[in-house]
Structure 1
Amino acid sequence: MILRHVTIDCAEPYELARFWSEVTGWPVSGEDSPGDPEVLVEAPAPVPGLLFIRVPEGKAVKNRLDLDWMPDERTRDEEVARVVALGATVHEDHRRADGLGWVTLLDPEGNEFCIERSAGERRAT
């Protein structure tokens, strides 16, 4: 069995897909356009893509699943600053004085995700 997509319910699939495309560097599918009810952000194989699907109800409670990201080109703190500049907001800051920890953020529609330390930061501690 292969995990093909991670599906995220949202109000505005194309707009949220564009945000996540900027965050990940992965392209929005060329088959998708503004107003579509489903929009795919295509990940490099074998990573599953992110599929955004329009639903009528808004987000009401904490996600039961969130994505944890580890930066590969920046430090955790640089990545947090970059995604905040793209439109995310810091939800919970779990960084510790010794450099350990992570940051929980919200995407533009309020979905939680985390940014952890990079592999280089992990090797250094």
Structure 2
Amino acid sequence: MSSDIRHVTVDCTEPYELATFWSAVIGHPVDPEDQPGDDEVGLTVPAGAGPELLFVRVPDGKPGKNRVHLDLQPHVARDQEVQRLRKLGATLVDDRRRPDGTGWVVLADPEGNEFCVERSAAERHKKVDHRSTP
């Protein structure tokens, strides 16, 4: 037998506020039963769409670099999504984009949890003629 991943849990100091940020990032609503001030707040995920993100209040701040992080593949161009996420409150941690268009961008959510933004599926499948690029 095996197990399914039910939640990806994020320790944080303000669960509702962080859930609201991530709701805007991935487009899944905050569970309607969860309220500001709750110690646990989840995002509602459609059946079969993967594990839920669950935000749990802890008394201490983030101690260092994440050992596990999310990699996002946007539905729009990577650079466009990075701009949108920064407007939502994400901060730039590291820019790993390469001149040939590959690579990713490391951002942090409002509580400092790192995540990566990769290229969109369209960007990954786009044929690039490097001979015409200086």
TM superposition score category, shorter chain reference: over 0.9
| Residue matched to 1:118 | 120
Length, aligned pairs only:
124
Structure-2 residue corresponding to 1:26: 28
Partner of 2:111: 109
Instruction: Find the partner of 1:75 among 53, 77, 84.
Output: 77
- What is the alpha-carbon distance in structure 1 between the residues aligned to residue 46 and residue 109 of structure 2? 22
Match of 1:50 among 45, 53, 57: 53
Q: Per-residue deviation at 1:62?
A: 0.1
Moved over 3 A (4+): none
Q: Which runs of 5+ in 1 are unaligned?
A: none
Which SS does the other structure have where 1:18 is aligned? helix
| TM-score, normalization by structure 2 | 0.90
Percent identity, aligned pairs only, is 60
CA-atom RMSD, angstroms? 0.7
Give deviations 1:14-66, integer Å, cap 9, x for gaps: 00000000001100001100000000012222211100000001001000000
Q: Secondary structure at the match of 1:77?
A: helix
Query: Runs of 5+ in structure 2 lacking a partner?
Result: 128-134
Provide Cα deviations, 1:40-97, integer angstroms capped at 9, x if missing partner: 012222211100000001001000000000012x100011000000000010000011
TM-score if structure 1 supplies the norm length?
Answer: 0.97
Q: Which structure would you say has the larger Rg?
A: 2
